[in-house]
Each structure stands twice: as C-alpha cells, then as structure tokens.
Chain A
Amino acid sequence: MPTVLIVDDSSTDRLRAGGLLDQMEDFSIEYAVDGSDALLKMELHVPDMVITDLDMPELNGLELVAVMRKAYPIVPVVLMTARGSEDIAVLALRAGAASYVPKRLLNSQLADTVRQVFQVSREDRGRIRLMRRMAEQQVRFDIENDQELIMSLVHYLQHGAACMGVCDDGDRVRTGVALQEALTNASFHGNLEVSSSLREIDHRAYYDLARERTVLEPYSQRRIHVSARYTLDSAEFCIRDEGPGFDRSSLPDPTDPANLERPCGRGLLLMQTFMDEVKYNAAGNEVTMIKRRKVSAAEHVQGIPR
C-alpha cells in the first residue's frame, strides 16, 4: 500500500488533505507538522510521496524540497500553495518539486494531481531501476565542428554517465565541463587549427578565423570522432579529431601567475582535474578520459556492490 506523508503546520489543512486522499484510494496516510518533523518521520519510513505546505515555521516547504532532492531523489513532492506563495512555489518547482495544488482548490484538484504524479513517479522509478541494471553501454558519434552539436553531445554523454550511476550530481557537472573542454579543443585547435596565440592578441579574430574555416577545405571536411563506454564502475570517453595533433609540452602552465592573463591551457587543466584519468595518443589528436564511480562510505563498510 503506497504511503503518503502530508506535511502542514495547520492541523485543519493537514487533516483536510488526508481526508481527501482517504476517500480516493487505498493509501496509508502519515502526517508531519513541519519540514523537520517530516525528515524525522522519513528516517523511520520513506514514503512514496510527500504532500507539503510551503509556509511552515520549522524548515519550510522550499527547504524540505531541497533536502529531499538530495536525500530522497525518487520520492515526489507535491506542494500545497496558499495565496501569496506563488513565487516560492516557482522556486520549489525549480528545486525539484513534482507539482502543486492551490489550497483553495484542494477538494477538486488534489486527487487528480496525486494520481498523475504517482503515475509519472512509477515510470521514473522503473526507468531508474532498469538503468541501474545495465551492465555496459557503448555509443559512437562522428560530428562536424558545430558548437550546437557539441553542446548537445556533452549533455547526452554526461547524462549517460549519471544514468549508469557512475556520477552523482556534482560529478555529472564536472564530467560535462571536461567533455566540453575536450570537444572544444578537438574542434578549434584540432580540426580547425586555430591557435590560442591568436586569441591572446585578438579574441574576435580567433573566433572569426574559426568560423571561416568551418566552410573552408580541408578544415570543413574534418570530423570529431567520439566514443563512450559506460560500465558499472566507470565512464570512458575517447575524443579524436582529424587535425595534425599537438605537443602538450609546448603549452604554458596556466596556473603560473605569469600566465594568468594568457588564454592557453586552462581547458586541459580542467580536464585533468575533473576526470580520474586523462591520456593522449602519440600524435596528440586523441584524448581518452576516464571517470570512475566513487564508492560511498556506506557501500564500503557494508560491502554493497552497487
């Protein structure tokens, strides 16, 4: 039987919402008087859905959504909004709340909203459970020197790493930054052969030259070849361009204070820092970056495989 936790400091509203759910389906209803009380109750039993008021004295609805996003990411939260709390409701939705119902429309809308959110949540949960059981996935792309494609590819690849459980939210973003830098290097410095030294003199000339070369042979014919291999323990990305390659040792150290004003080498530095392993082929036109899954302290202690 699905459990719904209703959180509201007003006992009237709390019981009213509970009464409405009692009528519609076979739910087990639990109650909490504010966000802190809700978190205490969730430590004992994780509900299938939380319905919460926004304006509460101890840990309000917005703060509760933020905590739940991290601690219980697959438990959907539905907001009950009063007049005047629309702005906070928007923030809470952005922070990850699944839906909202104005309090004045609880009687007519709560049941439908809860049904819809449960439906979506079941599908999400099923997809997440299925993805967690994928043992390996490989993808390959050959793309032009097109910034829009590069941006979409970065999102796709980092999403893949997150779906396989290799990355948490923070590492997903770090992986995205490293991929963006590697693909930008492959396009600008590799295929289009535009040098950072030009950017030092005139950044606009640098980008203008890159734009000209995207339609000029031989540069325009060159592609970026990207392969990604995801396993339960790591995500490995290989990015190769068709340019002449480069010698990494020729780059100045971007962290040397003397070079802070120069635009070279920062992308490589971010790649090295955000990935667990970065290696290049001898020609310097192919980079392989590996992100490994971190074993959480709980997994380590309990010997949980995943």
Chain B
Amino acid sequence: MKTPRLFKTFAVGPVLVVELLGVVSSLADNSVLQELDEVRSDLRQGGHQGLVVDLARAAYFGSSLLEAIRILWNDLSASGGRIALCNPSDVGREVLQIAKFDHVWPLVDSRDEAIKLVTA
C-alpha cells in the first residue's frame, strides 16, 4: 500500500478516524480519487459504526473536500453509522457553516470529543 498523501486512516475501537494530511483542492487527480476509494473500502470492510474526520492539518478547503466527506457520509449512512468532524480552521468552519453541513455533521474541537460523539 502506498503512503497516503491526503487521507491517513486508523481505527480507534469501532471508529474509523480519517486524518487529513493537507489541502484537498481538487478530486480530479486520479491518485486523490484512489485514496478516497481506499478510505471507502476501509470503512466498508472494517464494519465501523462511526467516522471521525480530523481537519487539523487542512488550513482551508472548498467544495472538493466537502464532496469527499459527503461521499463517505453517504456510505456510512447506508450502514447506519455516524459521522463527526473535528479541529477545523476558522475558514474551514466558515465553509462548513456556509454550506450548512454543520447542521448534519457535528463539528467539535477535539478528536476525543468527536470519537465520543459517534460512539455515544
């Protein structure tokens, strides 16, 4: 398996944590799509009940990352799982609020809090 460039994943109990490693400015790059597919595969095969997306290292993002999270959210919802986002930058938080995703994806300030939220 290649070293991830944008999405690093690991399991914490029944939760899959996706740590963003940088700015996702476009999904057009095939290697980015491939990484996203690997996260989807981890999510499916691990039977995870929750997904936490840690945004700490994404200084900013736009609709491309929202789309990637939306795809993961769709997969997770199909199996009844829950999602939470954590550690957004100020602009990242604004982007989520503008797109109204903060209404459906809980947004918290720490990874531990997010994990608690999806396993509660």
Contact = CB atoms under 8 A, between A and B. Distances in A.
Main secondary structure of the interface of B (DSSP, over half): helix
Contacts of B110: none
Interface residues of A, number: 30
Interface in A183-219: 184, 188, 199, 203-204, 207, 210-211
B103 A257 contact: yes
B33 A204 contact: yes
Contacts of A261: 70, 74
A96 interface: no
Contacts of B33: 203-204, 207
B27 A207 contact: yes
A184 B25 CA distance: 9
Contacts of B94: 174, 273
A250 interface: no
Interface string B42-78: 0000000000000000011111101100110010000
B42 to A, nearest CB: 17
Interface stretch (A37-45, A85-93, A262-270): A262-270
> On chain B, which size bracket covers the interface?
20 to 34
A47 interface: no
27 contacts: A170-B90, A170-B91, A173-B60, A174-B91, A174-B94, A177-B62, A177-B91, A177-B95, A180-B25, A181-B62, A184-B26, A199-B67, A203-B27, A203-B33, A207-B27, A207-B33, A210-B28, A254-B99, A257-B103, A263-B63, A266-B62, A266-B99, A267-B62, A267-B63, A270-B63, A270-B98, A270-B99
Interface of A: 147, 150-151, 154, 170, 173-174, 176-177, 180-181, 184, 188, 199, 203-204, 207, 210-211, 254-255, 257, 260-261, 263, 266-267, 269-270, 273
